[in-house]
Chain A
Amino acid sequence: MRNHVIAKGADVPPTGPSIEREIVLPVPAEEAWELLSDAERLEEWLAPEVDLVPEPGTPLHVRDDDGTERIGVVDAVEPGECLVFRWWPVDDPDRESTVELVLEPAVGGTRLVVVETMRSFGGPTAWGVRLQACAAATRLPTRA
């Protein structure tokens, strides 16, 4: 039985345009998870400066190599399997997007699927399939 915790404020699902990328990492799942959940390891690939703790409701801070500073909040965590957070540029909070990082077993290692969805205000409620999977054990109110 999964034990999911979803942060308050994560009850408005991401709608709007999204991009999806995936990669198979030649490592077992535990190591892949470490690459996603440990701030020091995240700094090897996500951005040069990462402050992120994989606990729902905790704030995060990321600074890209081009200087773009984003802040946000962790929305959902299923240890070993998925991490979902929202972030936005500090100087443009309306440009908020949701990032879903999902790990799946794969031939040769572990697949990471990334979906970033621009948050659309006033749109219909439509959960991404993966966010649904991550939130399976928690009933969230949907908004019209």
Chain B
Amino acid sequence: MTQEPLGRVFAALADPTRRAVVLELGAGATATATELARRHPMSRQAIAKHLAVLEDAGLVTHARHGRETRYALDVAPLGEAAGWLATAGAAWDDRLARLARAARRP
């Protein structure tokens, strides 16, 4: 398992249930594991495992309110992922511009 933060973000988002959880938490509200589990065909324990992966990637945080643990989204790591995409895209734009010129040389 990668120790590198960006790799953990991508690994976390590679799972469709985790992506759904990110979207659900991103809609603004915090939620408990039980509330999240209700929206998926899986147990609270299964959702808790996904939440652990998301927390390890820094995408989700939790806070205890009495006997409840509520989960919230942290968008900061997504910015890094978006940053990679933008940088990689710009690099290929430059490369393809140079390729177009190279193709026209005899």
Contacts and interface: CB of A to CB of B under 8 A. Distances in A.
Contact of B102 (A19, A44, A109): A44
Looking at chain B's contact residues, is the secondary structure mostly helix, strand, loop, or mixed? helix
Interface string B27-41: 000000000000000
Contacts, number: 94
B1 interface: yes
B76 interface: no
Overall SS of chain A's interface:
loop
Interface residues of B, number: 29
A45 B99 contact: yes
Contacts of B10: 15-17, 118-121, 123
B100 A25 contact: yes
A45 B4 contact: no
Nearest to A21: B92
B81 A114 contact: no
Q: Size range of the interface on A? A: 20 to 34
B89 interface: yes
14 contacts: A16-B11, A17-B13, A17-B81, A23-B100, A35-B99, A44-B99, A45-B99, A94-B2, A95-B4, A114-B95, A116-B88, A120-B10, A121-B10, A124-B15
